Amino acid sequence: MTDTPLSPETLDRLRASFDAQGLMRHLGASIVAALPGHVTLRLPFRRELTQQHGYFHAGGTAALADSAGGYAAFTLFPPGHDVLTTEFKLNLLNPAQGDWLEAEGRVVKPGRTLTICQLDVWGVGGGQRTHVATGLQTLICIKPRPATS
């Protein structure tokens, strides 16, 4: 949306929310860039994240894309609000391989309630960056609820 840096408060909210995600922590993902309406996540290659042919599993690819888009939308939400995905579609373009995956979420249409994001995932390694997935996502801005165990 813009090249303006996130406010320190928004960056703190973003990091706290991301750090609270068990799945992203389990996969080993991290935030590598965050601007208003645009977030990039990275997932290093580990054998535990592969399918039977040695490529990153589509489930990990999809989870990374979903979180990148979710956090891109989250950067535009007001304090005291949170994000949930209501729908997403991901097209797998090439085998997901490389030293890491990089997922970019970019807000296409912000809204008070629903926000639309473009999702792109790249396999990076050996001096190459290969587009492995692209998709579209709808997110909803919610008031946070207590987590259930």
Would you list the domain boundaries of the chain? 8-142
Superfamily of domain 8-142: Hotdog Thioesterase (3.10.129.10)
Span 30-89, pLDDT tens digits: 999 999 999 999 999 999 999 999 999 999 999 999 999 999 999 999 999 999 999 999
pLDDT of residue 1 exceeding 90, the answer is: no
pLDDT at 2: 66
Instruction: Identify each DSSP E strand in 15-72 by its residue range.
Output: 30-35, 38-44
CB atoms within 10 A of CB 30: 14
Q: Across residues 100-116, what is the average pLDDT?
A: 97
129 contact partners, CB below 8 Å, separation of at least 6: 102, 122, 123
Range scoring the smallest mean pLDDT among 92-96, 132-136, 144-148? 144-148
pLDDT of residue 149 exceeding 70, the answer is: no
Output the six-digit token pair for 73. 């939308």
